[in-house]
Chain A
Amino acid sequence: MDARPRTAESLHASFVDGSATAAEICEAALARIASRDSELGAMLALDADRARARAAALDALPDRRLSGPLAGVPVAVKDNICTSGVATTAGSRALERFVPPYSATAVERLERAGAIVIGKTNCDEFAMGSSSEHSAFGPVRNPWAPERTPGGSSGGSAAAVAAGYVPVALGSDTGGSVRQPAALCGCVGVRPTYGRVSRHGLIAFASSLDQIGTLSATVRDGAALLQVIAGPDSRDATTARVDVPDWGAAIDGGLQRCRVGFPRHLMDGGVDAEVAEAVEAAAAALAALGADVRECRLAYADLAVPVYYLVATAEASSNLARYDGVAYGHRTPRGGSLREMYERSRAEGFGAEVKRRIMLGTYILSAGYYDAYYVRAQEARARIAEDYRQLLSDFEMLVLPTSPTPAFPLGERLQDPVSMYLSDVFTVGASLAGLPALSLPCGATREGLPIGLQLIGRPFDEATLLRVAHAYEREAGGWRFGPSGSGGRGRA
């Protein structure tokens, strides 16, 4: 079998037609990880024995055509998504020895579809970060430029796809944690509509915002992965009882007369010139493909980052109260009273960014500040959601940059939380409004760093995003192997 990275679609086809065994596919993925991950740090745990056993079971099936839509496809899973019997740390010392007794619904559905879970990917601690540097187990490096970050918090999943370890991976997106690393690593990232994918087994950060999403080499691969994990789940009451369409069947539909809004004003300040240039060119390319692209205005866009950091940290301070050293997770060896045990266990278990967010959230929920911050943030959030609702009644989707800059150097924003938070300026809006959004590559800087284009759609209309993204991807030259020869991938 050809050992170079391939798409999930191609690997599954080879498995079904017998030109490759699941064992060969699995070994090729493990070999690529072994050859490069000491440099990149994208993987926190490999599950090689179980992956090989699953591959062997797939190869033993009497009829491979009945083996599931992702049969033979190796998948990596972000380490804040529970995997039964496999350590799940969320990038935190607090959960360093935590082994979940159950798998997330999304993981169960992947395995039922025949996918082979290869291992767990590194991430910012509890998914709090935009650079994957806030992991207790070391930073992730960008496969395109290892002295730079892959973005975050799903940086390990994005790097695993960009480096060709696996064609598809699961991530989670609270304020952009799938889309921004997808942009910085040159892959496709989908944040589905809030309620589209079950969060049962996703370690909670901010429950009104968290969504499991996909990272993939191609739009079609992303659609295939999303197809498998989407749909209602009785174990997550926030999943929506909405039909899941056949996204793969509709993906070739093209974009004739699709009404696309372009809030160009967002790029007026603080956006890297090469990013702005690439996004302008992408909007023009969509128009050339037949879309009706018109300028529009997001009136409350400048409030999105402050509102996001108020809502998300308030929810985080509540969700992370459970890490008290009692039922699971780190307990201090220093002893003390019950209260001292709580305070010491949490001090030793959490890293700096998590402590910052817990304290900010605790502050804004505290007496005397709740109305001024939390209540006001909820009002502003509703206003932002209404802003999107009105625009998306005129347009089928919006197009804007995913990130204001390409991948930035490791360490550059680590001691400056405000600068790091502003990395999310284009992604938090869709999160606050609960909308589906997708990032796909739209070129590269002169230095060769990937640039991402973001599409934001109507609730539960992932189909339009996938269809338009697929048409653009085809026009832009499609997916191809990268020039580095080290497992990276590029786009024409």
Chain B
Amino acid sequence: MPAEREDFPVARVAALARLELSPTEAERYRSQLTRVLELVGQVAGARFEATGSDVAHEAAAGERPDAVLPSLPADAALANAPDASRPAGLVRVPKVIG
């Protein structure tokens, strides 16, 4: 159970979320998100009886045959890549293996 009035752990969460933050940003978000936690925290302390309700109207949704359908051509899929080799059909990223 989270402690009450806990400061939002910006550095840990930003690392998990893959976000680089400046010290100024980190301080601003810590303060703002600590107040947001107070708003949403009232749910964390509550208890609810189980209900049969769900928002997904599952009875209405259907299944479709498990069949292969046409997909985007590789060229179209690569057209928005920041760095791509179209002849090879690949995107380039920084080297990860030495």
Contacts and interface: CB of A to CB of B under 8 A. Distances in A.
A196 to B, nearest CB: 9
A355 B8 CA distance: 14
Interface stretch (A13-21, A250-258, A374-382): A374-382
A481 interface: no
Interface string B58-75: 001111100000001000
Contact of A208 (B55, B60, B77): B55
Interface in A341-389: 341-344, 346-347, 350, 352, 355-356, 358-360, 362-364, 366, 368-369, 372-373, 376-377, 379-383, 385-386, 389
B88 interface: no
Contacts, number: 186
B56 A238 contact: yes
Contacts of A379: 48, 50
Contact of A309 (B8, B36, B50): B36
A433 interface: yes
10 contacts: A208-B56, A241-B61, A303-B43, A328-B80, A343-B19, A359-B17, A363-B9, A380-B46, A383-B49, A385-B53
A359 B94 contact: no
B5 interface: no
A366 B54 contact: no
B55 A194 contact: yes
B56 A194 contact: yes
B18 A339 contact: yes
B48 A240 contact: no
A383 B51 CA distance: 6
B21 A360 contact: no
A219 to B, nearest CB: 24
Nearest to B35: A418
B19 A309 contact: no
A240 B57 contact: yes
B55 A434 contact: yes
Contacts of A193: 57
A359 B13 contact: yes
Interface residues on B, range: 35 or more
A97 B80 CA distance: 8
A347 B19 contact: yes
B36 A421 contact: yes
A195 B53 contact: no
Given A194-B57, A385-B51, A306 B42 contact: yes
Given A347-B21, A356-B29, A358-B17, A341 B94 contact: yes
A239 B57 CA distance: 9
Interface stretch (A285-293, A319-327, A469-477): A319-327
B87 interface: no
Question: Interface majority SS on A: helix, strand, loop or mixed?
Answer: helix
B80 A99 contact: yes
Given A327-B77, A327-B80, 17 more contacts: A240-B60, A306-B42, A306-B43, A328-B81, A329-B82, A343-B20, A347-B20, A359-B29, A363-B33, A380-B43, A382-B48, A382-B50, A383-B48, A383-B53, A417-B32, A434-B55, A460-B57
Given A303-B42, A325-B82, A343-B20, A386 B61 contact: no
A195 B57 contact: yes
A312 to B, nearest CB: 11
Most buried by A among B21, B50, B82, B94: B82
Contacts of B49: 383
A379 B79 CA distance: 43
Contacts of A317: 17
A373 B63 CA distance: 32
